[in-house]
């Protein structure tokens, strides 16, 4: 068979696997209807939850508007795929700038019962991600299981463990074995 055909087939199957991983992710988040609007901070954990996407996806908030007098802010949310392709996820309205600043510093915004506008749907997100991954050479996801060679396993089995070497000497003196 032609190598070009094999590569196209491999990428098509890979895109389908990526689509299935995303569908599984949204179903686990409680979405039974993919046309329902999505609260943007809800998918901050997408790159961490699906490790195959860790270096391909990023969910990034940015400040759209801050009103210190009202102690409120509007955050915009973007989904970046492959570093350059961007999809706007929506805007969220937050009250309490100090609490919002602490959450941003910790790396995840947790805001329940907050107002969101201009949102998108999981269906559009899945379509966007799979389209971008299919068009880029770097979008290929290596799904091959990681194989550990027998040599590296044998080296690991004879390596002293941290727990045994850091064990207190008091056990040996109390047990009568001495040190």
Give the neighbor-by-neighbor strand order of the sheet with 85-95.
57-67, 72-81, 85-95, 116-117
- 67-124 per-position pLDDT tens digit: 888 988 888 989 999 888 999 999 988 888 888 888 888 877 876 657 778 888 999 9
Which of 47, 166, 171 lies closest to 108, judged by CA? 47
Q: Where are the domains of the chain?
A: 3-139
């Amino acid at each position: 068979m032609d190598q070009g055909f094999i590569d196209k087939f491999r990428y098509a199957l890979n895109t389908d696997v990526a689509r299935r991983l995303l569908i599984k992710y949204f179903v686990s988040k409680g979405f039974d209807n993919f046309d329902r609007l999505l609260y943007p901070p809800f998918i901050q954990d997408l790159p961490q939850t699906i490790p195959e996407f860790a270096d391909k996806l990023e969910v990034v908030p940015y400040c759209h508007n801050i009103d210190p007098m009202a102690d409120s802010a509007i955050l915009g949310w973007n989904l970046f795929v492959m570093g350059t392709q961007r999809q706007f996820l929506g805007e969220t309205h937050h009250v309490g700038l100090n609490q919002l600043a602490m959450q941003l510093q910790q790396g995840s915004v947790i805001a329940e019962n907050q107002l969101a506008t201009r949102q998108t749907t999981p269906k559009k997100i899945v379509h966007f991600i799979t389209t971008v991954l299919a068009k880029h050479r770097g979008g290929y996801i290596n799904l091959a299981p990681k194989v550990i060679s027998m040599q590296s396993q044998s080296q690991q089995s004879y390596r002293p463990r941290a727990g045994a070497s850091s064990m207190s000497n008091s056990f040996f003196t109390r047990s009568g074995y001495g040190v």
